[in-house]
Amino acid sequence: MAVVLAMHFPWGRYHATPWGRYVNEGAVEVPPSPWRLLRGLYSVWQLRAPELDARVVHGLLGRLAIPPSYMIPPYRIAHSRHYYPDSKHRSGSVSVDKAVDAFAVLDGNQTIYAIWPIDLDPEQSDALARLAKSMPYIGRADSTCDVEVLDRLPKEATGHRQAEPIGMDDEALSSNHELADLLSPDLPLDLDALIARPVDVRANKLLFPPGSRKISYAVPTPSRASRPVRHVQGKFTVVRLAVSGIVQPPMGHAVPLMDALRGACIKVLTRRGGMSDSLLAGKSADGTPMGDAHRHAHFLPFDSNGDGCIDEVIVWTPGGLSAHEVHALDTVTRRSVGVPEGVTGPRDLQMLLTASGDESLLPTEWNHRSRRWKSITPFVPSRHRKPRQTPATYLHDEVVRELAYRRQAVPDVVVKEKPDSSFVGFTRQRWRGKRSAETRPGYGLELEFAEPVEGPISLGHLSHFGLGLFKAVY
């Protein structure tokens, strides 16, 4: 036997922000966490069914404290944006704050099922049926919901996919699932901790309520609006990935994002029969870095509209990618990409593969022939300045040395330092790889060659992770 809680959303929308996430991040808690369900049942008991015996309800909540599995219909993540006048509006100036309302759009029969492999006694079963019938919504009040208790899954759930605790990292995930950490109660259930107010939890300087824990679930990935993919015949030297999210990461977080994307690609390649020589990973079959004169993949950020945010990730591989490696990139885009908790950088981003082919897919400002080139991201030298070197000589010698690694002939070049205040906040260390004891300085540069040269130009430390990128100056 089992206890099945059927949560039907007649409007087809489910609104819920995960605990510990800011509403404007646009994150949606799919499925509803065990902690949310238990707090909802307790609240309904207090407000709508106070006649139920406390002993029965306490026993019921204790039985339901074990993590359930879920059956989830096909769903998509969407949002609306709202702009409210802030306090400055009173002074006559036009000033507003933006609020993001993110939600899951449920398809199919618009019902989420929570399943506990337990038996309840008759009193507890009756109490759960009474509480379920009285629940007006799940999550935020926008999520109008009809809840009922079943003893088995109905036939209407055949098109649903399962979400269940896995207790492992994302190596256990299939390509159709992603990792989600859901807040759950410790066992045995601490009722006082369950009903603690969020404001009191914050007042005690706690990130999560006492008596709770995060449990990793394998959750079906959401459906996404399809975008036409442009394929160019020939070598796969360029793959473009659109960053599909409510909040796009700043350019300053390029390195941690590119590091996370490359790490996700390596996991996919390793899972498919073990690692072989791969220009996408930049590693040989034995795991050593490839000495290929920078012919392996560069993960580069692209800000298409000049707002300082990463709109696309462009994977440029001078040596060319195989169809197998392009497919690995496509697989990675079916799940969220980002850095883990505790690491500064973007998390829970979705991407879409929009184009693959040759250098004609590169942004014009990267691939244009020009004599003058200007920094898009800070240039970080790979070596330290010698005591007798002037700063100008040091930067010139580093640029020439980097160009020599990448080109058969090194053109004459004049290097001018052009400080850029937007480069101050750039992360200049990887979080996945070996971290240096100090952060190297970054420079804004302008390069002037004796003759026009063709891009892309990406030089210096972490140039394969988005730093040292230049654009042509027309």
Residue at token pair 């139920």: 52
pLDDT digits (tens, 9 = 90+) for 27-79: 899 999 999 999 999 999 999 999 999 999 999 999 999 999 999 999 988 88
Do 119 and 1 meet the contact criterion of CB atoms below 8 Å apart? yes
For residue 3, what are the β-bridge partners?
116
End-to-end CA distance of the chain: 72
Do 106 and 75 meet the contact criterion of CB atoms below 8 Å apart? yes
What residue ranges do the domains of the chain occupy?
A: 3-220, 230-361, 366-473
Q: Indicate the residue type of 290.
A: M
Q: What is the pLDDT of residue 99?
A: 84
Q: What are phi and psi of 23, to 5 degrees?
A: -60, -35
The DSSP-derived string for 70-125 is: EEE--EEEEEEEEEEE-GGGGGT---EEEEEEEEEEE-TT-EEEEEE-----HHHH
Strands 230-231 and 350-357: parallel
Q: What is the pLDDT of residue 133?
A: 96
Please give the Cα distance from 204 to 214 (Å, whole number): 19
Please give the Cα distance from 356 to 315 (Å, whole number): 9
Do 462 and 255 meet the contact criterion of CB atoms below 8 Å apart? yes
Tokens of 372: 């003058």
List, for the chain, all residue ranges whose pLDDT scores fall below the cut of 50: 168, 437
In Å, what is the CA distance from 354 to each residue of 178, 248, 303, 313, 466?
21, 17, 16, 10, 19
Please give the Cα distance from 206 to 215 (Å, whole number): 18
Do 73 and 118 meet the contact criterion of CB atoms below 8 Å apart? no
Tokens of 58: 């306490």
Query: Which are the contacts of 138, defined by CB distance < 8 A and separation ≥ 6?
Result: 7, 9, 14, 16, 32, 36, 37, 40, 145, 147
Query: Which are the contacts of 30, defined by CB distance < 8 A and separation ≥ 6?
Result: 14, 16, 72, 75, 104, 180, 219, 222
**Can the peptide bond before residue 50 be classed as cis, meaning omega within 30 degrees of 0?**
no
Q: Indicate the residue type of 226.
A: S
pLDDT digits (tens, 9 = 90+) for 274-333: 567 788 888 777 777 776 668 899 999 999 888 889 999 999 999 999 888 898 898 888
- What integer best gives the mean pLDDT of the chain? 88
CATH architecture designation of domain 230-361: 2-Layer Sandwich (3.30)
CA angle 77, 81, 82 (to 5 degrees): 145
Do 236 and 322 meet the contact criterion of CB atoms below 8 Å apart? yes
Q: What is the pLDDT of residue 437?
A: 42
CA angle 51, 56, 59 (to 5 degrees): 145
**Can the peptide bond before residue 340 be classed as cis, meaning omega within 30 degrees of 0?**
no
Count CB neighbours of 76 within 10 A.
13
**The two domains 3-220 and 230-361 share their CATH topology (first three levels equal):** yes
Please give the Cα distance from 40 to 167 (Å, whole number): 25
Indicate the CATH number of 3-220 among 1.10.10, 3.40.5, 3.30.2120, 3.30.70: 3.30.70
